[in-house]
Amino acid sequence: MGLLRFGVKNCLQYRQMHLLKNQAYVNGQWVKAGSNVVFSVNNPADDSVITEVPDMDASDAKNAIQAAASTFETWKNTTAKERSQILRRWFNLCEKNTDELAKIITAESGKPLAEARGEVAYGNSFLEWFADTARHINGEIVPSPWPNKQILLTRQPVGVVSVITPWNFPFAMITRKVGALMAAGCTCVIKPSEDTPLSALAAAELAEQAGVPTGVINVITTSRKNAPSVGKVMCEDDAVRCISFTGSTQVGKTLYGLAANGVKRVALELGGNAPFIVFPSADIEHALDQAMLAKFRNNGQACIGANRFLIHEDVYDKFVKGFKSRIAQKCILGPGTKEGVTCGPLINNQQAKKVSSLVDDAISKGAKALVGGKFATELGNKYYESTLLINVKQSMSIFTEEVFGPVATCLKISSEDEALKIANSTRSGLAAYVFTKDLGQAFRMSNKLEFGMVAINDGIISAAEPAFGGIKESGIGREGSRHGAEEYTDLKYTLMSCLDK
């Protein structure tokens, strides 16, 4: 009877979400899959079914791409001012519906409501930013080497963009990409993660209300089973000119290979293995506060999340003691809807198994868990305790792989050179964090760290204004900033000749 009451309560809760959609969005219509097959979207907090959505296949993807391609022929000719106004209306509606969007994000991703609201604010900032940026995607007039000729460089939209987004920030990763490509004059087909398609559908509903023209935004939903065939179409269809993907390096490489067949533009934001480096001159209390943000935001499920804590031997004991205390006091596990919870469940069983396996492997090889290190089984099967590991060796998998979970590993360092050598000993190159009051050291580290983004004395690096992205195997291209919009443009050279006649 208790389970029955719990299930009824959840059903009522889900039905009250007025932005909750259970159909895909193609060419301005809410549609089913051609096969009429559906799959369930579950709440990771308790495995309850939120709703069912269409399980679309390759043919459905082709239809969506054709809709985007048809609309592109008119959308590309709209003025920057028109696109700016539409994006501004979309931003205003998303702001107005922050709480409703947050409820959906929490339901399908498990993150606490407060953090979900933070994601909505972050996601909305991209719509606001690109509403402004749309009117500042400029070309150039280049001084000509010939007296009777003029050189013009103009930016034109690339065309249809395939947008493939992850589950960890299901709303913000869409607005960051779609806001940019719309500002540039492109159209798109979005395939959200099978774990979190509902945020994308809610965003599409608000885009429709904002007056985004039919076919500019299309959202197709697909299960893990159909994802490879759908992804292949989204990368290889002749009408697609760019693939924008955020996710794992492994999947990114696959999509990159598919895109190569048509020599298509790619914007890839892939995995990271961020170092968090603390030197003796650092404000240790501040570094600890920022460590909590850099590591345990979204329960560690963030590509820029700090993985490897490289702490100078002079402050190692103080830092580890303070870190342990903060984790024990401030990391509160539970369902995202519960007041006071700061860390929700991991997204799915596969992710939970990965995190647990990495920790177990490290402990079996000599690492020690000062706090955490196991599942909180009294809460459910995907709640993993916030964990601090010491005695970690560089050869351990947990040190070389992206954990994507609430596990911090501490390693003692003795010099700046050692910190650089260890930090750069990865094929990833997304984000790095450095804590020091030595200005010269700060500049040296920024210059020598092989990462696309370096934060000095800060644990939060993301915003709409800077250029977000990595180097090495962490991706290609940049998101946010004006560069984020320019990713979706082609630079055309026009030579104007015979100007003296």
Active site residues: 269
147-151, long-range: CB < 8 A, 24+ apart: 147/500, 148/497, 148/498, 148/499, 148/500, 148/501, 149/495, 149/496, 149/497, 149/498, 149/499, 150/495, 150/496, 150/499, 151/493, 151/494, 151/495, 151/496
**Which residue is it, tokens 């916030």?**
386
Task: Check if the beta carbon of residue 182 is closer than 8 Å to that of residue 209.
Answer: no
3-state helix, strand, coil in the chain (%, to 5): 40, 20, 35
Whats the size of the chain, residue-wise?
A: 501
Collapsed DSSP state (helix, strand, coil) of residue 114: helix
Count the helices and strands in the chain (H runs, E runs).
16, 20
- The dihedral built from the CA positions of residue 459, 119, 372 and 382, taken in this order, carries a sign that is negative
Cβ count near 36 (within 10 Å): 8
d(CA 236, CA 255): 9
Cα gap 436→87, rounded to integer Å: 40
Supply angle C-alpha 444, 446, 451, rounded to 5.
135
Side-chain-side CA neighbours of 48 within 13 Å: the count stands at: 19
Contacts 24+ apart (CB under 8 A), 9-17: 10/43, 10/46, 10/48, 13/107, 14/50, 14/51, 14/107, 17/100, 17/103, 17/104, 17/107
Instruction: Map tokens 């500019």 to a residue.
Output: 216
Q: Mind spelling out the 3-state secondary structure of 384-451?
A: ECCEEEECCCCCCHHHHCCCCCCEEEEEEECCHHHHHHHHCCCCCCCEEEEECCCHHHHHHHHHHCCC
Q: How many CB atoms lie within 10 A of CB 316?
A: 20
Give the other-Cβ count within 10 Å of 15's Cβ. 10
- Determine the Cα–Cα distance for residues 419 and 449; give it in Å rounded to an integer: 10
Q: Which residues pair with residue 303 across a beta bridge?
A: none
Give the bridge partners for 274, in sequence order.
306
